């Protein structure tokens, strides 16, 4: 009886942890390199909203269609964008091909103090999902 109760508790805690990760708010925007070996490069990028935007994940080169490209974020979930250029712009869960959430326009976040091995870059958030 004690083992069953312990197992149920562990399973409930694991489910809660997975739910928290799955419900992460995702940000999408542009990283623009202003110096270094990548100066002049611009990328469509994504990150978990509550985490450091300077640690983004590449989605597409800016100017190319980012829809359909699979990308994995720090929560170990893989996503893709759909409905680019439409009012149905949305984030999908790649493993199940299910809708995660529709985009909300959000250009309020910007960070110009990001640095990587490729140079200095700025981040401009354009959308939020979740």
pTM score of the predicted model: 0.80
Range of the domain at 91: 25-129
Band (pLDDT 50/70/90 cuts) for residue 2 is low
Answer yes or no: is 38 within a domain.
Answer: yes
Distance CA 31, CA 29 (A): 7
Answer yes or no: is 7 within a domain.
Answer: no
Average pLDDT over residues 119-123: 96
Say how many domains are in the chain.
Answer: 1
What's residue 20's pLDDT? 36
Answer yes or no: is 117 within a domain.
Answer: yes
Answer yes or no: is 15 within a domain.
Answer: no
Average pLDDT, the chain: 86
Answer yes or no: is 19 within a domain.
Answer: no
What's residue 64's pLDDT? 96
Does residue 93 register a pLDDT over 60? yes
Distance CA 64, CA 40 (A): 16
How many other C-beta atoms are found inside a 10 Å radius of the C-beta of residue 1? 5
């Amino acid at each position: 009886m004690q083992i069953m109760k312990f197992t149920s508790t562990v399973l409930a805690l694991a489910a809660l942890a997975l739910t928290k990760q799955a419900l992460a708010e995702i940000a999408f925007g542009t990283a623009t390199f202003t110096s270094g070996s990548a100066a002049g490069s611009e990328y469509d990028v994504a990150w978990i909203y509550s985490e450091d935007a300077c640690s983004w994940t590449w989605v597409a080169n800016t100017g190319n269609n980012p829809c359909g490209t699979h990308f994995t974020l720090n929560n170990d979930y893989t996503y893709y964008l759909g409905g680019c250029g439409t009012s149905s712009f949305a984030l999908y869960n790649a493993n199940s091909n299910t809708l995660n959430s529709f985009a909300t326009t959000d250009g309020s976040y910007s960070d110009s103090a990001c640095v990587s091995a490729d140079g200095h870059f700025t981040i401009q958030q354009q959308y939020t999902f979740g």
